Amino acid sequence: MLIDVFKEKTPLSERDTFLLFERTKSSFTFPVHTHDVWELNFVEHAAGARRVVGDSDEVIGEQDLVLIANTELEHAWKDGNCRSTDIHEITIQFSPTLFDSPVFRKKQFDSIMRMMARAACGLVFGEAEIQRIQPYLRMIATEKGFYSVMKFFILLYELSLSQNVRTLSSKVVPELSDNDRLMKKMLGYIEQHMARTITTDELANYLGMSSSTFFRFLKKNTRHGFSEFLQEYRINRIVHELNSNSRDSIMDIASRYGFVSQSYFYKVFKKYKGITPQEYRENYQRVRVIV
């Protein structure tokens, strides 16, 4: 039986070849999810974190690189035993329809297409392969337009030549644990009521817990108290919108996530990201590539 997991809405448009996001964060807050795009995800400085891809649930090392070419394959990275506050992540999202073109039936693309077929169950690349392709991965973030597309396909080709690579998920759709279901339910509630004040009592009641049980549940799964967790979750959602090149003003975006006071919002944003929202929008657009 298929499990109803969180469906992420990505900003990739029909005119985009791919989107690249680069972020530094202190924890993994996104629930187990799927989306209508394929994804290459690189994570470093997160040793001890858990990676969930389908029915695969593993502890990752200092670096992790996973390719998922399946819009129905649920996945997530979770804090686990990771104690790093400097987690670095590069995500490249691209449409499955990109590979519908007849050009990808040419023999020069055979290895890429074989890799994509295997990646329907998720592929994880070994440490040596990660070191080998990192220069290509980092170059894409510095390029724009046509040249970024060329670097992207070079990256895919180099990945397709990898020897130390293995499939993650079996064909069986996994059941979510009770703990994961509660986290998913909590984050779904937060998403629905993001623009207003949310209290611990209402969330505890929604999850069928006492306030003390809810506090222990949250601390165990996020290592944060409720206020700090909610603040960081909201900031990460705002960063996601800033990365999507939204034309809305910064405070219009912030207000959708419960921030009314500009001075307070800027203070909280700088606490988690080290710079102001305006500086982030101006200086970090280079790590998002749309072509």
pTM above 0.85, yes or no: no
Q: Which domains does the chain have, with CATH numbers?
A: 6-167 (2.60.120.280), 178-287 (1.10.10.60)
pLDDT (tens digit per residue) in 8-50: 877 888 888 999 988 889 888 888 899 889 999 999 999 999 9
Average pLDDT for residues 126-138, to the nearest whole number?
93
How far apart, in whole angstroms, are the C-alpha atoms of residue 9 and residue 50?
A: 23
Please say if the pLDDT value at position 174 is more than 80: no
The distance from CA 282 to its chain's CA centroid, rounded to whole angstroms, is 22
CA atoms lying within 13 Å on the CB side of residue 185:
17
Amino acid in position 274: G
State residue 145's pLDDT score: 84
Structure tokens at 67: 């390719």
